[in-house]
Structure 1
């Protein structure tokens, strides 16, 4: 057997796997092959989304399924033994494992990151591969595990038999939190971007601690009913009869896992404080979902629950840790035990990227001033001043502005996908109601098909709230458009949402991240790989803030200091909950009791007959560095291709030297070139070769038909027999119609018009055999692109 001729996969099967097994590793529980680590980043351009190739390790070695130890990266034998090391090191960084091996089948290069060996890298023969015991003992020493901690630290996570297992970052989060609890930390914070499975991760943490019998009674706290119900029905379902949801003032304390709303166990009156039915030492662990909200403030009416159960371990979960001068997650919970950011989730392909459409309206930029002694629609005298974007839909309503926004939204949906799930974030309930009506009037055909095409889903609307489950259910087509204010900004698992409209003034980074999070989930079955943010209120300027997706800086000032809340935070609180028509949220922020009334609302003027126009519109995409860039499809393609092929000659050399042109096409696709989007913009009659030569290198393009006609003029078919000439002519016609891909696959001979000429084996015989047929196709391609 010539080892040099073996594929990478053959090297794995014939040399690497036998070496691992010979070292004593269990093939069933300790060795996994071709492990998909990331899903592959989604590249968005135009109306197209393309998933790039994800990261996949050739081998991962485990102590147990929840504890990876080593990476093995394989290469063909024609490459050096260390050729896979750098790739293996990058995978090891993802999995946070200290042992990395590279092999070409001749032996191994072993990289040890523990610092416990005399050499960082050394060469081993196939027979010298280390045993599981050797690596596991060194791993324990590296991690500093104590013997009494091992039973809990190595406790298995829950498996339901479906094959679903935690993603690599969820494994990190689970392991790090379990380790923190085992080492005695009484408060711990877990930060994971919306859509990355916080609740599933929390379930696995609780499951392992519960099964290890070190946390026997657990309370899961949230401040919205939908969060508790989703948790109980979905991720926490395996707890079965050991779990209960607290619903009444009389609590059955015989369960082990309790789920509750804050509101269900406390209130301003002493008789409402049902949590006192438990003894202060009853719970061993309390998990606080969305901990940036209610319980974050020191003087929250809900913080008293945590203070009462102060002997329990408190674990906070959030996508958006809150750090203001009055509220601090980090001051209470400490620095995050683990953080998985939105940027990392998008890079890995587990979260949907976004494009931003920023729309500026003239009155928003220039402002509007009433005429002298002008009255509004309701007969109120309008205060004489200049009203601008900050005022619109808060203190002053311009009806034409609402109608224009509704028209822009509707036009976008009609041009892309009229059934794309859409959330319109409005200033308040009144604004959400007016926006619903405007959208209904813009979409009469859709509303005639189903009256629920547009629904207002706010806390005050029973029928609207009843449709929330249908909106987030991928199997339910209606409602399509939801107008809201606060109710849908957090805790709503709307993974099919493709369009988010921001017509609400947002200054809080915490809230902005939560709103954006409504679109970050991916649902490939639904065709949801990315989403669009349409911004009318400059909210997306927060993307440029250095705090976006960065570390939250602690600026908390304990009570008694002379610091005050910054004006923008005050304004955002006003926007969120104290506006003229009230918030649609079903919770309070916890800073002043439960369900306190709203203060006397300010006057809201309503005017009609004002001309409102679009001044500018910009489309921006999220770049590889996580920042928004304004870039055309052609510019993006040119920059991407030139990273691979700096000059036209470089590209031509690669194209001409490659036997299968499709390989070059797929390679560029993996780099983010979206062919269908280019065809839509440049022309569908051009092949991949001409699209690149024209867009990237400025060459005049030829259509596929023009290239085919050039071949016919050169009379290259005459050297073949009659049947072979007919096949080549048909291949040329197939190229003109469909491009290079089908003619490179011999399976094309099974379809029309070839199937009418004879069986594939007969057609190939007309060339003298398969090798001669393949050479004829190569010659045809050479002339096509000469």
Structure 2
């Protein structure tokens, strides 16, 4: 038996030993056991203009109590390894899936690791079990409920099924974690619950599944879903919440129909400036037993806000807050209201898992921003105003001082980037205020006349004060609509804009608020594979991306800010004044849910003077430009493609000899090439850079030896010519020799991977030599073809 086990693959071990052991323990193979569970997609790695995906994470076996509740992970290894060889890998998976019971097996037995702490006092954390001693479903479920602190009544409430529309769509692992943790919290009687999930990770779909489970199980009968943008409510109603059907309505007018069970509303639609307009008071305080607050970082947590009045009115209901960026300042605290999050899923986690798009940053520094500018004595601006004599720097640009030459230069740089990549990629340009957004629109129109002639909506200003621009917002975010392509804005598009195909975000806005910065970056993090959106670029003109280095960018929600004696009163997450330079003021949303975009272009009471200086008066130049990539640790890395490739290769192969052993020992070189691609090597980008510096195409073998280990490379043609000189084909005759010579030519033209696949015999020039069956026969059949190719590879890399 032992000898038989050592010859078996991991899948054979699972099929012949592990699955039968589970069946004997009483596990339902159809409902409770899933094999090869892929729960991440693999991080997207970007270099140059190309990308690749790393390997996703896949658990060998996951055990479920019900379809929506994973409770154990099993990692299967070959019998030649120790029973606990897969334990560390399984523990990593279990931590992500939030399951307490972890097993490693080699087919001879199990090593059981119990993370729950629910065993008897003195129990070992890890215990070896025989194949016939695997725990029953009932035993693990009892311990799971103890781990989660659920009594028998709460258990029944916590296991309500999620919605299944039959399409195969199911919550991703982190969504399931968020749903389960929330439903459990409700089952335990918790009435204030916070979920923190990065933009683009499906908060609304997660909210739908939570509401569905609580509604269908009868725990919550009437639900109010609140959002702060019309577009969010409408998208929610027609997309994720559609299965609620006739039980759902949107609050729009002043007359309330109380016959529905699911109500969607803008905060602004149920609150107003006077008592009579607060229509939420038409509902009795106990009408709703669940209130879900989307984007609860905005105004809902402020104690004196009109939105908070709604929550206070329905104080007896369970309140669930959803946010990507918890608001934590001295005045406003999401954590203070909702408590600690029951689950958090960050931008870094989303990028690492391959569910969110990574980014690269093109940082452009301008001389007047960095060095500052001082007007000459008595200098007048374009409007005849005397310019105050002081030094104007980065913070003043487009707020107190407008340099036309700067606007032109920024617009030209945006245009050059689009023309060099894709002029039709959706682009959001974040400006300081409405005036800046309009000037930027004009500059971009003048620099892109051909595109604007094709469609006048190529560039649109989409701001809160412009009805035509706002009317184009739906078209901008619709992946199927090509226009508008470029949107200039200041505040309107920072939140609530699901721009799946936005590939370029331009930052020409001085950003001090971490909350606002996270929201802006979130406009680009969605992936849309159907439209080729895997990553996005941030073109930064105002050093805003320095906030990426702040630990708060992707850290845990912080405690409420309390200034120490002598500290400035302004909290670190709050800008000292509004983006248009006016005095601080709390934003007041309009009835359609649009927040003021802020700012005009002149002076007024309570506003700073804005000077406009012509391009003929002051010039502006680029002094520095660099590209930074999203690194494996979540930090921005300024690194050349060569350096990046060297580090990727050397993580896998410590020396040239180790690489050569792996390369020469591989039955197919494609396996090594794919292995390095999974490590992050982007072959096309590397070939483009090396080739651009000196010549014809190189083989992956030579790229690795040259870039990672400093060896002089040979071109594919040179390698092919060396093989011909050795007369490798001397012992072959007729068709066989012609096939091998054609394979060598094909290698020189296209590389090693195509010639390893015998389907190449169906292509030209092989089809001129004969039918594929005849060519295989001449080489001794499929096995003969493999031997001939391997011999050819040995000579190529000798």
Query: Which range, TM-score by smaller chain?
Result: over 0.9
Distance in 2 between residues matched to 1:635 and 1:30, nearest whole Å: 47
Distance in 1 between residues matched to 2:286 and 2:762, nearest whole Å: 74
1:779 Cα deviation (Å)?
Answer: 1.2
> What is the SS of the residue equivalent to 1:498?
strand
Residues 34-53 of structure 1: matches in 2 within 5 Å? 34-53=36-55
Label 1:400 to 1:577 Cα distance change in 2 as closer, same or farther (>3 A).
Answer: closer
1:569 Cα deviation (Å)?
Answer: 5.3
> What is the SS of the residue equivalent to 1:296?
coil
Match of 2:702 in 1: 690
Distance in 1 between residues matched to 2:666 and 2:262, nearest whole Å: 61
Distance in 2 between residues matched to 1:68 and 1:127, nearest whole Å: 22
**8 Å CA contact 1:486, 1:584 repeated in 2:** no
Distance in 2 between residues matched to 1:520 and 1:389, nearest whole Å: 27
**8 Å CA contact 1:30, 1:63 repeated in 2:** yes
**8 Å CA contact 2:581, 2:607 repeated in 1:** no
1:226 Cα deviation (Å)?
Answer: 1.2
Deviates more, 1:338-347 or 1:755-764: 755-764
**8 Å CA contact 2:175, 2:206 repeated in 1:** yes
Match of 1:8 in 2: 10
Match of 1:752 in 2: 764
| 2:636 pairs with 1:628 | yes
Match of 1:595 in 2: none
Label 1:35 to 1:633 Cα distance change in 2 as closer, same or farther (>3 A).
Answer: same
**8 Å CA contact 2:268, 2:589 repeated in 1:** no
Match of 1:525 in 2: 530
Deviations 1:421-474 (A, max 9, x none): 110000111111111111111111111111111111111111111111111111
1:73 Cα deviation (Å)?
Answer: 1.6
Distance in 1 between residues matched to 2:390 and 2:513, nearest whole Å: 27
> What is the SS of the residue equivalent to 1:16?
helix
| 2:540 pairs with 1:535 | yes
| 2:109 pairs with 1:111 | no
**8 Å CA contact 2:102, 2:112 repeated in 1:** yes
Match of 2:570 in 1: 566
1:362 to 360, 367, 371: 367
> What is the SS of the residue equivalent to 2:225?
strand
Please list every run of 5 or more consecutive structure 2 residues that lacks an aligned counterpart in the other structure. 597-603
Distance in 2 between residues matched to 1:576 and 1:82, nearest whole Å: 62
1:564 Cα deviation (Å)?
Answer: 6.5
1:729 Cα deviation (Å)?
Answer: 0.4
Label 1:530 to 1:474 Cα distance change in 2 as closer, same or farther (>3 A).
Answer: same
Distance in 1 between residues matched to 2:567 and 2:111, nearest whole Å: 58
Label 1:567 to 1:308 Cα distance change in 2 as closer, same or farther (>3 A).
Answer: closer
Match of 2:221 in 1: 216
1:628 Cα deviation (Å)?
Answer: 1.0
Label 1:112 to 1:368 Cα distance change in 2 as closer, same or farther (>3 A).
Answer: same
Label 1:76 to 1:703 Cα distance change in 2 as closer, same or farther (>3 A).
Answer: same
| 2:462 pairs with 1:457 | yes
| 2:415 pairs with 1:403 | no
Distance in 2 between residues matched to 1:744 and 1:15, nearest whole Å: 35
Match of 1:548 in 2: 553
| 2:381 pairs with 1:376 | yes
Match of 2:785 in 1: 773
Match of 2:749 in 1: 737
Label 1:230 to 1:412 Cα distance change in 2 as closer, same or farther (>3 A).
Answer: same
Deviations 1:514-560 (A, max 9, x none): 000001111111111111111001111111112111123223459xx
Label 1:325 to 1:159 Cα distance change in 2 as closer, same or farther (>3 A).
Answer: same
Match of 1:674 in 2: 682
Distance in 2 between residues matched to 1:570 and 1:28, nearest whole Å: 53
Match of 2:600 in 1: none
Deviates more, 1:772-781 or 1:57-66: 772-781
Label 1:376 to 1:63 Cα distance change in 2 as closer, same or farther (>3 A).
Answer: same
Deviations 1:278-327 (A, max 9, x none): 11121111111111111121121221111121111111111001111111
Label 1:749 to 1:391 Cα distance change in 2 as closer, same or farther (>3 A).
Answer: same
Distance in 1 between residues matched to 2:566 and 2:392, nearest whole Å: 33
Distance in 2 between residues matched to 1:360 and 1:127, nearest whole Å: 67
Match of 1:705 in 2: 717
**8 Å CA contact 2:26, 2:136 repeated in 1:** yes
> What is the SS of the residue equivalent to 2:740?
helix
Match of 1:418 in 2: 423
Distance in 2 between residues matched to 1:605 and 1:369, nearest whole Å: 12
> What is the SS of the residue equivalent to 1:717?
helix
Deviates more, 1:213-222 or 1:534-543: 213-222
1:584 Cα deviation (Å)?
Answer: 12
> What is the SS of the residue equivalent to 1:483?
strand
1:727 to 733, 739, 748: 739
> What is the SS of the residue equivalent to 1:393?
coil
| 2:657 pairs with 1:655 | no
2:607 to 601, 609, 612: 601
Residues 30-109 of structure 1: matches in 2 within 5 Å? 30-109=32-111
Match of 1:718 in 2: 730
Match of 2:232 in 1: 227
> What is the SS of the residue equivalent to 2:112?
strand
1:764 to 769, 772, 776: 776
Match of 2:256 in 1: 251
Match of 2:194 in 1: 189
Label 1:255 to 1:271 Cα distance change in 2 as closer, same or farther (>3 A).
Answer: same
TM-score scaled by structure 1?
Answer: 0.95
Match of 1:322 in 2: 327
1:583 Cα deviation (Å)?
Answer: 9.2
**8 Å CA contact 1:764, 1:770 repeated in 2:** yes
**8 Å CA contact 1:31, 1:60 repeated in 2:** yes
Match of 1:594 in 2: none
Please list every run of 5 or more consecutive structure 1 residues that lacks an aligned counterpart in the other structure. 591-597
**8 Å CA contact 1:472, 1:495 repeated in 2:** yes
**8 Å CA contact 1:459, 1:584 repeated in 2:** no
Distance in 2 between residues matched to 1:567 and 1:146, nearest whole Å: 43
Deviations 1:98-135 (A, max 9, x none): 22222333333332323316343333343333322222
Deviations 1:31-54 (A, max 9, x none): 112111111011111111111110
| 2:185 pairs with 1:180 | yes
Distance in 2 between residues matched to 1:584 and 1:463, nearest whole Å: 22
2:142 to 130, 137, 146: 137
**8 Å CA contact 1:376, 1:382 repeated in 2:** yes
Distance in 1 between residues matched to 2:228 and 2:742, nearest whole Å: 67
Label 1:585 to 1:419 Cα distance change in 2 as closer, same or farther (>3 A).
Answer: farther
Deviates more, 1:537-546 or 1:9-18: 9-18
Deviates more, 1:748-757 or 1:549-558: 549-558
Label 1:770 to 1:270 Cα distance change in 2 as closer, same or farther (>3 A).
Answer: closer
Label 1:567 to 1:33 Cα distance change in 2 as closer, same or farther (>3 A).
Answer: closer
Residues paired across the two proteins, number: 777
1:599 Cα deviation (Å)?
Answer: 6.0
**8 Å CA contact 1:51, 1:670 repeated in 2:** yes
| 2:505 pairs with 1:500 | yes
**8 Å CA contact 1:36, 1:55 repeated in 2:** yes
**8 Å CA contact 2:464, 2:595 repeated in 1:** no
Distance in 1 between residues matched to 2:20 and 2:580, nearest whole Å: 62
> What is the SS of the residue equivalent to 2:306?
coil
Match of 2:495 in 1: 490
1:604 Cα deviation (Å)?
Answer: 1.6
Match of 2:599 in 1: none
Deviations 1:702-726 (A, max 9, x none): 1101100111111111011222111
Deviations 1:629-674 (A, max 9, x none): 1111110110111111111111112111112111110000000000
**8 Å CA contact 1:107, 1:125 repeated in 2:** yes
Deviates more, 1:367-376 or 1:266-275: 367-376
Distance in 2 between residues matched to 1:439 and 1:679, nearest whole Å: 34
Match of 1:353 in 2: 358
> What is the SS of the residue equivalent to 1:179?
helix
